[in-house]
Structure 1
Amino acid sequence: MSTEDLENYETEMELQLYREYRDVVSLFSYVVETERRFYLANQVDLKVRSADGEVYFEVTMTDAWVWDVYRPARFVKSVRVVTFKDVNVEELSPSELELPKNGGFRAGA
């Protein structure tokens, strides 16, 4: 497999992931961004914890979808993430769920 073939494969996988995201985003209420992953979820519980002077975050999500191009099953019943980095949790509003009517974005736009 050439470098160009590999790049084309990765580009196609990312496009398929975006299309799946576009199709499922309206099913979820929250966007959760951690240092390693991006999630859509319907329930989110974020707790700030402390141990030995270190602060960390524990996020529990139920009814979730994981943005991961290499993960074959992106829908998960529950997810628990523990991280020392900040966690961003946003509640989606209906206007944020509206994607471009033409089905995508133009290159260079």
Structure 2
Amino acid sequence: MTKHRIYTTSFSSVYPLYVAKAERKGRTKVEVDEIIRWLTGYPQEELEAQLEKQTDFETFFSEAPYMNAERKQIKGVICGIRVEDIEEPTMQEIRYLDKLIDELARGKAMEKILRRA
């Protein structure tokens, strides 16, 4: 079975799209980074190193220091598919991130995005 092409796409090629989506809606790169750090456990320096290395999505998520256990609370539809129903673990992690960025762009409060409230 062939892997989906997102797995081999560099995270750094999609990252500016996350930032642009957030900024179009009045949000910031700082908030995007906070979401990524919350989800993956990367400190800011390591996140920037991953971006500089042009790490692919599969490696980005497999090398994450820790995936936040609270991510299992992320529910909803992204790209027409419910994130909680995605069976392939790496694809689910990618879609969790997509969903969090969508929530940011829709104006949701950071406390709610980061499942603190």
- What is the TM-score of this pair, normalised by structure 1? 0.27
Bigger fraction of residues in strand: 1
TM-score by length of 2: 0.26
Structure with greater contact order relative to length (CA < 8 Å, sep ≥ 6): 2
Going by fraction, where is helix more abundant, 1 or 2? 2
